[in-house]
Amino acid sequence: MFIAQQTKPNEQEKETIFPGKIMFISVHGSPLAKLGGIQSGGQNVYVRELVKALDQLGVTVDVFTHWTDISQPQITPMGKKSRVIRLAAGSPGFRPKHEMAGNLPKFLKELKQYMTSPYSYTLIHSNYWLSGWVGLNLRRSSRMKLIHTSHSLGAVRKGALIKTPDPSMTNRLNIEKELFQTADRVIATSPSEKAVLSNYYTVPSKKIKVVPCGINAGIFHPDNQKSKPDHLPLKKRMILFVGRFEENKGLNILLQSLVILQNKFPLTAASTCLTVVGGDELNLLPHQISPEKQRYLDFIKAKGLTDLVKFIGPISHEDLVTYYRNASITIIPSFYESFGLVAVEAMASGCPVIASRTGGLADNVINGKTGFLVKPKDPEELAGAINKLLTDEQLRRHMKKEASIHGRQFSWLDIAWNMLSIYKEVIGCQTTTLNGIPDIS
Ligand code: UDP
């Protein structure tokens, strides 16, 4: 699934790289939003980095998103020719994802005001089923082709993740089914996602393209200068969790495994600390703390883990890389991930990963080489793997090296090239490489 390293086009080549403009739709995932909060994670990074890379190649993109942060202007430039356009869709300001479905017709209506002619955009790339609904409606009423990336699939959430009934799930599954049949291409970010698209949604194989996510190699790489996060206690090994506070991310499983570590491997536990990045901002008033964080705090207090766990709150990629570089292990105990950007970022920064053997994590982490894969939702197995890696310095050093080699293969620029050839194929434009030879890959 890796793509050969591509060179950048020169200014003349950029002029002819793609005819017209591309419309990205990412209703709840603004590419310029602060990351790590309840509703901003991988999808925001995907849209931001892919659009930046496409723009670098000379492609013009308009990203339409909900106007979630009213302190932002309606239009912000991105790169040289691309921009983010925020739509109020009835009312601007933060709105939980599950409430957005009802406002999609308004979003669609406002978006259409930017389509001054039937040729305003050459094609649509929608992200997540909410945006897919908007794309589906535009596809039906125009000649524009539709490419869709799901980021998360209703079938997976229903089966593996959410145990409490979700009243919007039937609607979501119906929209996804119609969307995947209508879209001209469906992007799977991992082979595991492709399998769900084929088996559950019966999407024809030729319509699915596997294109992974990437990392910003300018940020996520090992660094010899060894700057340290301020709070890191001396003589303690840091294990790291990075993610939104959502049950499916499995932080509760990791906390349970710390209890097991304390009981079964007290020497390891005594020299270890857990840093949690993402989730609630720090210094919130008690009534502002999310129920998820409150559950973690209650558990930590009840089990006597207070000295072991440090919450950092959401931070930028530029700050996050220092944590990856200083961590002995990054742990990703998710119940499922379509891709799992954190795993690849950590590896690229030279940090071994212990991740659940599920979804894109199982595709991207090489078990025994760049880290370990463990059974999801099994704190016992996770504790064993943490102990094994923390007590074997030589293995850790070896994995650090392998992880950084492996992780740094995922480059957004290469991914943008790959996506561009899919766009061109869909609009019937001959795909060429930079030196003009037709691309038959
Ligand atoms: N992230 C971040 N700051 C934080 C927490 C998370 O920048 O405080 C980023 C993280 O680096 C990654 C993304 O949010 O790029 C999470 O993507 P992932 O695929 O791991 O999970 P998702 O959010 O899609 O479920």
- Mean pLDDT to the nearest integer, 124-149: 95
Residue 50's domain is classified under what CATH number? 3.40.50.2000
Atom 11 (ligand 1): residue with closest C-alpha? 342
| pLDDT tens profile 276-299 | 999 999 989 889 999 999 999 999
Residues 54 and 137 in one domain: yes
- Statement: residue 228 has pLDDT above 80: no
Atom 23 (ligand 1): residue with closest C-alpha? 41
Residues 176 and 251 in one domain: no
Find out whether the beta carbon of 240 lies less than 6 Å from any atom of ligand 1.
Answer: no
Helices (H) and strands (E) in the chain, counts: 17, 14
Q: What ligand 1 atom has the least distance to the C-alpha of 46?
A: 15
Q: What ligand 1 atom has the least distance to the C-alpha of 316?
A: 7
Identify the DSSP state of 148: E
Q: Is 21 exposed, middle or buried (0-12, 13-18, 19+ CB in 10 A)?
A: middle
Helix (H, G, I), strand (E, B) or coil at 196: helix
Find out whether the beta carbon of 341 lies less than 6 Å from any atom of ligand 1.
Answer: yes
- pLDDT at residue 294 in the model: 96
- Mean pLDDT to the nearest integer, 367-375: 98
> What ranges in 36-153 are assigned the alpha helix state H?
42-57, 97-100, 104-112, 128-141
Q: What ligand 1 atom has the least distance to the C-alpha of 249?
A: 25
Q: Is residue 5 in some structural domain?
A: no
- Predicted confidence band of residue 115 (pLDDT cuts 50, 70, 90): very high
Q: What's this model's pTM, rounded to 2 decimal places? A: 0.92
Q: What ligand 1 atom has the least distance to the C-alpha of 45?
A: 15
Residues 204 and 255 in one domain: no
Find out whether the beta carbon of 339 lies less than 6 Å from any atom of ligand 1.
Answer: yes
Find out whether the beta carbon of 407 lies less than 6 Å from any atom of ligand 1.
Answer: no
Q: What ligand 1 atom has the least distance to the C-alpha of 213?
A: 19
Residues 352 and 323 in one domain: yes
Atom 24 (ligand 1): residue with closest C-alpha? 42
- pLDDT at residue 9 in the model: 78
Residues 351 and 375 in one domain: yes
Q: Count of CB atoms within 10 A of residue 230's CB?
A: 6
Residues 73 and 180 in one domain: yes
Distance in Å, CA 199 to ligand 1 centroid: 28
Find out whether the beta carbon of 360 lies less than 6 Å from any atom of ligand 1.
Answer: no
Find out whether the beta carbon of 213 lies less than 6 Å from any atom of ligand 1.
Answer: no
Q: Is residue 6 in some structural domain?
A: no
Q: Is residue 2 in some structural domain?
A: no
Find out whether the beta carbon of 42 lies less than 6 Å from any atom of ligand 1.
Answer: yes
Residues 44 and 154 in one domain: yes
| pLDDT tens profile 14-73 | 777 888 899 999 999 899 988 877 788 899 999 999 999 999 999 999 999 999 999 999
Dihedral sign for Cα 381, 387, 390, 392, please: negative
Residues 381 and 416 in one domain: no
The verdict on ipTM greater than 0.90 is yes
Using most ligand atoms within 8 A of CB, pick from 242, 316, 345 the residue to mutate for ligand 1.
242
- pLDDT at residue 105 in the model: 96
Domain extent at residue 385: 237-407
Residues 154 and 66 in one domain: yes
| pLDDT tens profile 190-214 | 999 999 999 999 999 999 999 999 9
Residues 401 and 421 in one domain: no
